[in-house]
């Protein structure tokens, strides 16, 4: 199938760097902190993105306070005087503000990316749950249709009951097609949210 039946427990946050907007913000941070020896690997916390991470402000606050967080790293670095001989205090203050601004822009771009990935994962999970229910209902409706046909042949039911059972089964099939389409659209949203390309996803992720 185009979209797998299993949903990975989480997507590595570092995959967000495939997004053009996040990558641009990342480059801006690297450029602004190039003299601080900041490693790219330290910019993304070692967490996994899941359908439930959402945009919870508390979670985001804790996330960016983790060791290795770019915001925390920059906050620690800008707290140390970086005066060059003869540099004016005003220039230093301006540079601090610029670094804080760039760090916040990066944080915002990552938060937006996390929200979009989380939404897509949640949609995929929801459609998978609906498809399981539809499949179970399909088996019951198939049996009901067969039973109605047998009762009709034995003269214990009229043909209207057969038609009704067949129509119920047809409506269930149409619903399954609709939900499958929603799942495919959610998968497309996920690929886009991760910057595009199936190679961005773990093996078991739709």
pLDDT at residue 64, as a whole number = 55
pLDDT at 197 over 80: no
**How would DSSP label each residue in 160-182?**
HHHHHHHHHHHHHHHHHHHHHHH
Q: What is the pLDDT of the chain when averaged over all its residues?
A: 73
pLDDT at 179 over 80: yes
- The values of phi and psi at residue 4, to 5°, are -65, 160
pLDDT at 173 over 90: yes
The whole-number average pLDDT for the span 159-174 is 94
The ranges assigned to domains in the chain are 11-200
Angle of the 89-153 helix axis to the 20-32 helix axis, nearest 10: 160
Q: Are strands 48-49 and 11-12 parallel, antiparallel or unpaired?
A: antiparallel
Q: How far is it between the farthest Cα atoms of the chain?
A: 104
- Residue 20 exposed, middle or buried by CB count within 10 Å (0-12, 13-18, 19+): exposed
Name the residue with higher pLDDT: 22 or 85: 22
49 sits in which H/E element: strand 48-49
Per-residue pLDDT tens digits for 21-77? 888 888 887 777 664 444 444 555 555 666 665 555 445 555 555 444 444 444 444
């Amino acid at each position: 199938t185009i979209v797998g039946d299993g949903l990975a427990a989480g997507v590595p946050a570092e995959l967000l760097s495939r997004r053009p907007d996040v990558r641009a913000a990342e480059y801006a941070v690297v450029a602004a902190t190039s003299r601080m020896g900041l490693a790219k690997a330290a910019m993304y916390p070692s967490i996994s993105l899941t359908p439930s991470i959402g945009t919870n402000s508390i979670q985001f606050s804790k996330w960016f306070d983790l060791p290795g967080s770019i915001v925390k790293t920059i906050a620690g670095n800008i707290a140390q005087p970086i005066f060059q001989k003869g540099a004016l205090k005003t220039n230093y203050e301006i540079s601090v503000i610029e670094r804080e601004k760039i760090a916040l822009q990066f944080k915002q771009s990552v938060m937006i990316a996390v929200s979009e990935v989380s939404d897509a994962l949640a949609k995929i999970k929801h459609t998978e749950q609906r498809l399981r229910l539809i499949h179970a209902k399909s088996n019951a409706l198939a049996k009901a249709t067969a039973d109605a046909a047998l009762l009709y042949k034995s003269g214990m039911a009229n043909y209207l009951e057969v038609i009704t059972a067949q129509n119920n089964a047809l409506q269930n099939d149409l619903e399954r097609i609709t939900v499958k389409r929603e799942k495919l659209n959610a998968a497309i949203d996920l690929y886009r949210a991760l910057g595009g390309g199936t190679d961005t996803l773990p093996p078991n992720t739709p």
